A = this chain, B = another copy of it.
Amino acid sequence: MYVILVYDIGEKRVGKMLKLCRQYLNWIQNSVFEGAITEVKLKELQFKAREIMDIETDSLIVFKSRNEKWLEKEVVGNEKNDLDNFL
């Protein structure tokens, strides 16, 4: 499964959320991640994210696609390096 994950999180919680998401996916923009992930790992990520989030104000959206080929990506401007994930 291939996913795009975006969050909108209160400033105080952003650091934790970023750290969590980078354990599972590639960071491609400020609050945007993408990558291949299993259903089980995604559930784990969402569970941990819920523990960080304030459900009243924060939001986390995951777009799931069964096949990466079904999604084409176009970037204008400055894309974060995929290597981010390994640093």
Contacts and interface: CB of A to CB of B under 8 A. Distances in A.
Interface residues of A, number: 38
B78 A71 contact: no
A60 B76 contact: yes
Contacts of A64: 71-74
Interface in A26-84: 28-32, 46, 49-50, 53-67, 70-80
A54 B73 CA distance: 20
Nearest to A72: B64
A75 B59 contact: yes
A63 B61 CA distance: 14
B59 A29 contact: yes
Interface of A: 4, 6-8, 28-32, 46, 49-50, 53-67, 70-80
